[in-house]
Structure 1
């Protein structure tokens, strides 16, 4: 969750990608966008750490990429639409990547989404739950 005092900062389990997060994740998201080109994907797969070192990422961002920790990547300013380019390098679907941010397998996640997604119960503003 964002560590700020914005109106939307108290939504459980939610990080809003706003201007502050865009600035925080600029280099991370630029790295992700580079993976749109085949030669860059090849270079990344060849030596992930060396490739990451070219983009000005923080050490925490680099470790989250190397660990494929998508929840941490979002907390560090990653935009999910860019982050899925990392999972695509690994041959994973968007659903497989996103399911890693839940306690569900990919199939369980897909089933939940087919049934309409997660319940809003417990996922509203904290102030609404008091």
Structure 2
């Protein structure tokens, strides 16, 4: 695969509705964000974070957009900014949310609606398949 082909291939991944593919570019972009999230595995860091989120976040070299999205718990934006869902799970676990509760907020569905969709096999393959083509 030529260099141009790989860029075209990776660009196609941005055209999947409702999905953010965790690429090497996103991994580089979100490295510090994900490190901050992983720091919440330690009890003393969770306590510090919960006591003053802004101050804790300011200790990390995050972009203003990452800081804002983190404070607002805008997980979709955090994914766009390089967050990895498995690392971000440390944030919503610190908030006392289960994976299902947090992810349902990313879909615009209630927890019950999200669980029902997943129990029925997930998002239907029928429907919107391309952001650019809207079909």
TM-score by length of 2: 0.86
Q: Deviations over 1:2-25 (max 9, x none)?
A: xx7423222122211010000000
Report the count of equivalent residues: 127
For the structure 1 residues 15 and 34, does the alpha-carbon distance in structure 2 shift closer, same or farther, using more than 3 Å as the test? same
For the structure 1 residues 29 and 104, does the alpha-carbon distance in structure 2 shift closer, same or farther, using more than 3 Å as the test? same
Q: Root-mean-square deviation (CA), in Å?
A: 1.9
Aligned mates of 1:42, 1:90 — CA distance in 2: 11
1:28 counterpart (22, 25, 33): 33
1:44 counterpart (38, 43, 49): 49
1:80 aligns with 2:82: no
C-alpha displacement at 1:41, in angstroms?
0.3
Higher helix share: 2
Aligned mates of 1:11, 1:123 — CA distance in 2: 9
Q: What residue is the counterpart of 2:3 in the other structure?
A: none
Q: What residue is the counterpart of 2:4 in the other structure?
A: none
Q: What residue is the counterpart of 1:108 in the other structure?
A: 113
C-alpha displacement at 1:111, in angstroms?
1.1
Aligned mates of 1:12, 1:99 — CA distance in 2: 16
Q: Deviations over 1:11-62 (max 9, x none)?
A: 1222110100000001100000000000000000011001001110111101
TM-score by length of 1: 0.89
Structure 1: tracts of 5 or more residues without a match: none
Aligned mates of 2:133, 2:81 — CA distance in 1: 27
Q: What residue is the counterpart of 1:119 in the other structure?
A: 124
Structure having the higher Rg: 2
1:58 counterpart (47, 59, 63): 63
Aligned mates of 1:21, 1:96 — CA distance in 2: 24
